[in-house]
Amino acid sequence: MPLNSSCRENGEIIISSGDRLTIENASEFARIIHEALNSSKNVAIEFESALEVDITGLQLICSACKSAATKGCSFSYHGLMPPALTEMIIASGAARHAICRHNNDSTCIWFGGAH
């Protein structure tokens, strides 16, 4: 399944992760995120359960969250975080339970498990 996005009636944009968030599709993922954050104040990702992710995908998620905060937008996810993403967060050392200034001084929803 490819990456794509759709707009809900309330204006929220949902990005479907497809089955891979890796270096091979990083530019497409970045483009979709950029377009979504320029079109809506609320952007979320819905992940495929069998997602393959690498460190590039993880970096793009973090970057998107920071960009959203700068623009006064929200960037979150719907549903469950897939095991591959959780494993990549832990393996890369990105797991943290500290306050994130990009998340309204709350625990990071991506790397701290506060969703």
Task: Report the alpha-carbon distance of residue 53 to residue 30 in Å, rounded.
Answer: 14
Which pLDDT band, with edges at 50, 70 and 90, does 68 fall under?
very high
What does the longest C-alpha to C-alpha distance in the chain come to?
A: 38
| CATH 3.30.750.24 matches 4-107 | yes
Domain boundaries, the chain: 4-107
- pLDDT tens for residues 29-56? 999 999 999 999 999 999 998 999 999 9
- pLDDT tens for residues 4-32? 788 888 889 999 999 999 999 999 999 99
Beta strands in the chain (DSSP E): 4-7, 13-16, 20-21, 42-46, 52-53, 74-78, 99-100, 106-107
Task: Report the alpha-carbon distance of residue 2 to residue 75 in Å, rounded.
Answer: 20
